[in-house]
Structure 1
Amino acid sequence: MKLYKINSSKIKKAIICKNVNSTLVNKDIKKTYIPKAGDVAIFKIKELGKHTNMQSPNGNNIAILPGDLIMAAFGNRYATEQMEGYVPTKYHNTYHILGQGGAIGILASLHAKFELIGPTTLSLVGYVVNDNGKVINTKYLKTETITQKAIPINTNPKIILSLGTSMDSGKTTSAAFLARGLKLARKKTAYIKLTGTVYTKDKRMVRDYGANVVCDFSDFGFPSTYLCSTDELLDLYYNLLERVKPYNPDYIIVEIADGLLQRETYALIHNKEFMDNVSGAIFSSGDSMSAISGANMLTELGCNVIGVTGLFTTSPLLINEVSQRSHYAVLTGEDIMTKEIINTLDKNLNESQIENKMAVNI
């Protein structure tokens, strides 16, 4: 086995590889080794498409150009407004950038708005390995983890889910607004993004709006959570909760990517262990019908819907439709981003607790 030492100054490293310090590359196995999600490799940019930048370990976006060498990790992606892609099951002459944070795979489908642009293409140079020649995987790399224990039920801090109908329905914005409102109410808030594809823009936004601590799946080396098992997600969730616990937050906002029908989201909201831990949810939508139908779906699962919000709240007409056709509280950005949101939360969560006790007594 012959290993090559790379000049790190000539490599542009993606943020998913921030904890990778090895400069050893095995080029000989590139056609025989079958990668797993999180496996690290060196790629050469062939042709630019949708992605012309990559997020670096310090969070800044850096330009990438044909001929550049980058360090990134294999990962799957599910993004209804962008692309679908998978970790390859065999060697390919061409690979694709699936996410700006450094998720690499083989494109399966692309949103029509990007068809003329296409994906950015790469060739595989070799796999990054440790001193023993083992391919480095980013998952949990240099991160202290705890074997999953039972997730605490109905204890402080209160956990609020930020859910939505689909990608770009307003989930992160709603989470950020809620962090701002809770800060104005002098409450300590943590933000966890549990699922998605690596790119730290969302957690940075919520931090800037007032969360005391933010973290996401990529902090434990996940290029994405697409196709993870529910047990793996629960283990990740437990470790993320442990990560924010030392900050003693009053509230933890947990955002789950994409819509209620997406594979991992659907599994989590149908998982009793996960949902028993939740105090309530704010639900984001782009239109009135999906706001009501999505909130109804959560209610049928026993989830306490605190209110509906998202892009539809920018339209007075859509707000009226939801108000007239459902019992759900409509929360505009202004409603969420003021200190009075604590009154809405307290009232809703207290009423929910009373209803649960009555149901148990019955």
Structure 2
Amino acid sequence: MSISPSLETETFEANEALAAAEGRLRHLKLDAQRALKIRAAYTTRFVATEFSKNAEDFHLVAGADVTPQPGDVVIARVAEIGKHTRLESPVSRRQLMFVGQEIMVAYGNRYAPDQFLAHVPDSLEPCHLVAGGGLAGYVTEMHASIDAATAIEPIGLLATKNGVVNLRDFAPLQVGTPSLAALRAVGTVRPPVIAVLGTSMNSGKSTTLGCLVNGLSNAGLNVAAGKATGTGAGNDPNLFIDAGAFPVCDFTDFGYPTTFKLAYEQVRDLLAAMIDEQAASGADVVVIEIADGLYQGETSRLLRDPLFAAYVDTVVFSAQDALGARAGLDVLQDTAVPVAAVSGLLTASPLATAEAASRLDVPVIDTYALCRPEVATALIPVRAASL
């Protein structure tokens, strides 16, 4: 005997209500109208594309025994507006958020000295939106000068019949599974690779990289650019595109909403995979940004890894002031990483630039001077390693 749809729905809802009362795993349906109203974040853009086309293939998983993992996609309700008032959309539009709205974000850890230190909670407990690009985490420390994080209430993890959805399930690039172009490039000569590093957040790394890309592009070169570590957001990739880079990718294209607290082997493999993919594009030069400062855990370890020396030919270092430039250069030279030039925020000040130039044995170049072809091309390393 067949069961009527209405009775089947009532039975499902009754079972789920009982599961909720007992704290057990629950599977919650998403109707089409509700799915349409969910605001997706930039970090979830590849998942959101499929969700918008086939929402009926998705449901939510909830319950006291659900343990989120980094990269898991969660539907959450905005509970209180704080530091982040807007959520960056899949096309990088800043969507104004309202209390009560449902948003699609990804769990991830965050390390941001001028904002938050946050971790992935071990349950679907109330937590925070810790980055406007769409990162859910629980704040444990914050900078004294900023507002408290926007509070969110997770409703459930997004899931399909195959299980909980993680960003890596829908990412166009995969660590450990090279694209056809990258496979075909094995054994060929890799183009020169320039890494842009800095003293800290907000030292001018992304602007330095953008200007360098622009200068190389103005010289008629094909430039590929990427961001290997950091917190997912569209600002930097869009800047690289605007500057003239193609192709452009970052760690979110590999399915990572953030790289903080990733196992070091994953960070290492991600850097190699990104450079391999960008080098295989036919670019004349590859430029890669490494986020945060030299003392940040994964960055510090990368610099001392033989893989970094094998893949990166030279560094342009971005600093906030002369002392930071000198200290950073000492760290880089101690690890035998070649440095082509120092640039960044300090070059906004002629006095700071002069101070740095008097103490450094590498050129100090005004950030926007990097847009000039002759300045940018002078930084291209001669050595190129084999894939």
- The TM-score, its normalising length taken from structure 1, stands at 0.89
Q: Does structure 2 conserve the Cα–Cα contact (< 8 Å) formed by 1:153 and 1:277?
A: no
Paired residue secondary structure (1:243): helix
Over 3 Å counting, the alpha-carbon distance change for 1:205 and 1:19 in structure 2 is same
Counterpart-to-counterpart distance in 1, 2:335 and 2:27? 55
Cα deviations across residues 312-337 of structure 1 (Å, max 9, x unaligned)?
Answer: 11111111111212212101124311
Paired residue secondary structure (1:249): coil
Does residue 87 of the first structure (1) align with residue 120 of the second (2)?
A: yes
Counterpart among 325, 333, 349 of residue 291 in structure 1: 325
Q: CA deviation at 1:46?
A: 0.5
1:212 matched residue in structure 2: 246
Paired residue secondary structure (2:373): coil
Amino acid paired to 1:80 = P
1:118 matched residue in structure 2: 148
2:160 matched residue in structure 1: 130
Correspondence 1:255-266 to 2 at 5 A: 255-266=289-300
1:50 matched residue in structure 2: 83
Q: CA deviation at 1:55?
A: 1.1
4+ aligned runs moved over 4 Å, structure 1: 148-155
Does residue 143 of the first structure (1) align with residue 172 of the second (2)?
A: yes
Does residue 225 of the first structure (1) align with residue 259 of the second (2)?
A: yes
Paired residue secondary structure (2:269): helix
Does residue 16 of the first structure (1) align with residue 43 of the second (2)?
A: yes
Q: Does structure 1 conserve the Cα–Cα contact (< 8 Å) formed by 2:83 and 2:149?
A: yes
Of the two, which has the highest radius of gyration?
2
Amino acid paired to 1:270 = R
Q: Does structure 1 conserve the Cα–Cα contact (< 8 Å) formed by 2:190 and 2:279?
A: no
2:111 matched residue in structure 1: 78
Amino acid paired to 1:13 = A
Counterpart-to-counterpart distance in 2, 1:227 and 1:2? 29
Q: Does structure 2 conserve the Cα–Cα contact (< 8 Å) formed by 1:162 and 1:282?
A: yes
Counterpart-to-counterpart distance in 2, 1:186 and 1:280? 21
Counterpart among 29, 35, 40 of residue 4 in structure 1: 29
2:135 matched residue in structure 1: 103
Paired residue secondary structure (1:196): coil
Amino acid paired to 1:8 = A
Show structure 2 runs of 5+ residues with no match.
1-25
Paired residue secondary structure (2:293): coil
Q: Does structure 2 conserve the Cα–Cα contact (< 8 Å) formed by 1:154 and 1:279?
A: no
Q: Does structure 2 conserve the Cα–Cα contact (< 8 Å) formed by 1:268 and 1:275?
A: no
Counterpart-to-counterpart distance in 1, 2:377 and 2:80? 53
Paired residue secondary structure (1:3): strand
Counterpart-to-counterpart distance in 1, 2:356 and 2:108? 38
Correspondence 1:310-329 to 2 at 5 A: 310-329=344-363
Q: Does structure 2 conserve the Cα–Cα contact (< 8 Å) formed by 1:55 and 1:101?
A: yes
1:357 matched residue in structure 2: none
Over 3 Å counting, the alpha-carbon distance change for 1:285 and 1:105 in structure 2 is same
Counterpart-to-counterpart distance in 2, 1:42 and 1:254? 32
Over 3 Å counting, the alpha-carbon distance change for 1:140 and 1:253 in structure 2 is farther
Counterpart-to-counterpart distance in 2, 1:2 and 1:51? 30
Paired residue secondary structure (1:198): coil
1:356 matched residue in structure 2: none
Q: CA deviation at 1:146?
A: 5.4
- The TM-score, its normalising length taken from structure 2, stands at 0.84
Counterpart-to-counterpart distance in 2, 1:236 and 1:95? 28
Cα deviations across residues 162-211 of structure 1 (Å, max 9, x unaligned)?
Answer: 00000000100000000011011111111110001110101111210111
Amino acid paired to 1:122 = I
Over 3 Å counting, the alpha-carbon distance change for 1:334 and 1:70 in structure 2 is closer
Over 3 Å counting, the alpha-carbon distance change for 1:168 and 1:153 in structure 2 is farther
Q: Does structure 1 conserve the Cα–Cα contact (< 8 Å) formed by 2:216 and 2:377?
A: no
Q: CA deviation at 1:140?
A: 4.6
Over 3 Å counting, the alpha-carbon distance change for 1:293 and 1:203 in structure 2 is same
Moved more, 135-144 or 37-46: 135-144
Does residue 170 of the first structure (1) align with residue 204 of the second (2)?
A: yes
Counterpart-to-counterpart distance in 1, 2:249 and 2:157? 28
Correspondence 1:239-278 to 2 at 5 A: 239-278=273-312
Amino acid paired to 2:336 = G
Q: Does structure 1 conserve the Cα–Cα contact (< 8 Å) formed by 2:81 and 2:98?
A: yes
Q: Does structure 2 conserve the Cα–Cα contact (< 8 Å) formed by 1:188 and 1:251?
A: yes
Cα deviations across residues 193-231 of structure 1 (Å, max 9, x unaligned)?
Answer: 000111010111121011122110011221100011221
Counterpart-to-counterpart distance in 2, 1:2 and 1:299? 55
1:183 matched residue in structure 2: 217
Cα RMSD between the aligned structures? 2.2
Show structure 1 runs of 5+ residues with no match.
354-362
Paired residue secondary structure (2:168): coil
Paired residue secondary structure (1:340): helix
Q: Does structure 1 conserve the Cα–Cα contact (< 8 Å) formed by 2:247 and 2:281?
A: yes
Paired residue secondary structure (2:140): strand
Over 3 Å counting, the alpha-carbon distance change for 1:324 and 1:135 in structure 2 is same
